[in-house]
C-alpha cells in the first residue's frame, strides 16, 4: 500500500479525526487518536494495529524514523499524507510531530479483571486533571498494578493530554471506566478485595501498616477527595505524613508514592 494525499479538512478522514477530539465521539465510536512517533511505535510493538494513520509532509521529509510508517503500510493500514498546516488542525499538541494514528480503545470486562490472581488494583475516584489521570495510569503500570478502575465522573483516559502523560500505559494495562452502578465499588468488596483509601487526614501513616492482597488503593478527586459514601465502605485509611508546612501533595504524586510503597511491601512481581 502507499500513502494517499489529502489536502482538505473536509475530507472524511480529517473530519473523523477532528471529531475524535471530543469525548462523546470517542465514546460513541470506541476509537481514539494517538499522537507522536514514540507512542505509535510503542503501540505497534505491543501488537496494536491502528485503523489508519496520518503523516505530515514535514515528518516524511525530515524524520529518520520511517520504519513506523513502513511497518503500518505493510500491515495494510490506510495511510494519509497531509500538508503541515492541516496536521496542525488534526493534532492536539501545540507543536505536532507530524504523525498520528487512530486506534480502537481496548475493551475489558470488570469480571475478567477482578478474577486475576494477583489482585492489586487502583481505583481513581473522579480525577479531573488529564495530566494527573495519565500520570497515575503510567505509575500504576510501572508499579505492577493489575488494572485501573475509573469511577463515573472521571476525566477521559483517551483525552490527548491524558494519553500523553500515560506514555502508552493505557495499551499495556486494563483501564476500565465504571458505570454509575459500578462506581460504588461494591463489586470489589463482593470479591473480598480490601479497599485502602488515600486520605488527607484521619488515616494511619502509610508506611506503618501491613498490606495484603487482594487490595485496591483508592485515590480521590483533587479538590474533594474520595466520595463520602464510597469512603464509608472502606476499612483502611492511609495518610502520607506531611513534614513541612504544606497541607497536601499533588494527587498523582500521592497515588504513586502509595502504589510503589505497597508494591514493595507486598513483594509485587513484574507483570
- In the range 172-191, which residues lie near a second copy by CB under 8 A? 172-173
Q: Cα–chain-centroid distance for residue 270?
A: 19
Q: Under the criterion CB under 8 A, does residue 79 sit at the interface with a second copy?
A: no
Residues in the chain: 271
Residue 214, preceding bond cis, omega within 30 degrees? yes
Q: Under the criterion CB under 8 A, does residue 139 sit at the interface with a second copy?
A: yes
Residues 255 and 222 sit within 8 Å (Cβ to Cβ) = no
Count of residues near a second copy by CB under 8 A: 38
Q: Under the criterion CB under 8 A, does residue 217 sit at the interface with a second copy?
A: no
Among 10, 76, 229, 269, binds a second copy (CB under 8 A): 269
Q: Under the criterion CB under 8 A, does residue 164 sit at the interface with a second copy?
A: no
Q: Under the criterion CB under 8 A, does residue 95 sit at the interface with a second copy?
A: no
Stretch that binds a second copy, among 19-27, 55-63, 138-146, 215-223 (CB under 8 A): 138-146
Q: Are strands 31-35 and 99-104 parallel, antiparallel or unpaired?
A: antiparallel
Q: What track of x and - describes contact with a second copy for positions 35 through 74 (by CB under 8 A)?
A: -----------x----------------------------
Stretch that binds a second copy, among 23-31, 83-91, 150-158, 165-173 (CB under 8 A): 165-173
What does the block give as the cell for 1? 500500500
Q: How far apart are CA 116 and CA 149, in angstroms?
A: 14
Contacts of 266 (CB under 8 A, 6+ apart): 120, 211, 212, 213, 215
Q: Under the criterion CB under 8 A, does residue 271 sit at the interface with a second copy?
A: yes
C-alpha closest to that of 40 among 63, 13, 62, 15 = 63
Q: Are strands 236-239 and 194-198 parallel, antiparallel or unpaired?
A: parallel
Q: How far apart are CA 158 and CA 199, in angstroms?
A: 27
Q: What track of x and - describes contact with a second copy for positions 230 through 259 (by CB under 8 A)?
A: ----------xxxxxxx-xxx-xx--xx--
In the complex, which residues of this chain contact a second copy (CB under 8 A)? 46, 131, 135, 138-139, 141-144, 165, 167-169, 172-173, 207, 240-246, 248-250, 252-253, 256-257, 260-261, 263-264, 268-271
Amino acid at each position: 500500500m502507499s500513502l494517499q494525499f489529502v489536502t482538505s479538512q473536509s475530507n472524511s478522514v480529517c473530519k473523523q479525526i477532528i471529531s475524535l477530539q471530543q469525548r462523546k465521539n470517542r465514546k460513541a465510536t470506541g476509537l481514539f487518536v494517538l499522537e507522536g512517533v514514540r507512542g505509535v511505535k510503542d503501540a505497534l510493538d505491543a501488537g496494536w494495529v491502528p485503523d489508519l494513520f496520518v503523516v505530515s509532509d514535514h515528518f516524511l521529509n525530515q524524520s529518520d524514523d520511517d520504519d513506523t510508517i513502513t511497518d503500518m503500510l505493510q500491515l495494510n493500514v490506510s495511510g494519509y499524507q497531509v500538508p503541515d498546516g492541516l496536521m496542525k488542525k488534526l493534532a492536539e499538541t501545540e507543536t505536532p510531530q507530524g504523525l498520528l494514528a487512530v486506534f480502537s480503545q481496548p475493551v475489558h470486562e470488570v469480571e475478567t479483571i477482578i478474577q486475576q490472581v494477583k489482585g492489586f488494583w487502583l481505583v481513581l475516584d473522579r480525577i479531573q486533571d488529564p495530566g494527573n489521570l495519565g500520570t497515575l495510569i503510567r505509575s500504576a503500570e510501572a508499579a505492577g498494578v493489575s488494572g485501573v478502575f475509573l469511577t463515573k465522573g472521571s476525566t477521559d483516559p483517551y483525552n490527548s493530554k491524558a494519553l500523553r502523560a500515560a506514555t502508552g500505559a493505557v495499551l499495556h494495562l486494563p483501564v476500565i471506566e465504571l458505570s454509575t452502578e459500578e462506581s460504588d465499588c461494591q463489586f470489589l468488596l463482593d470479591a473480598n478485595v480490601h479497599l485502602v483509601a488515600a486520605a488527607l487526614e484521619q488515616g494511619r501513616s502509610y508506611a506503618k501498616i501491613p498490606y495484603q492482597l487482594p487490595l485496591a488503593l483508592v485515590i480521590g478527586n483533587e479538590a474533594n477527595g474520595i466520595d463520602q459514601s464510597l469512603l464509608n465502605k472502606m476499612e483502611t485509611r492511609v495518610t502520607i505524613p506531611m513534614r513541612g508546612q504544606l497541607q497536601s501533595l499533588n494527587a498523582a504524586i500521592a497515588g504513586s508514592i502509595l502504589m510503589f510503597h505497597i508494591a514493595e511491601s507486598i513483594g509485587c512481581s513484574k507483570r
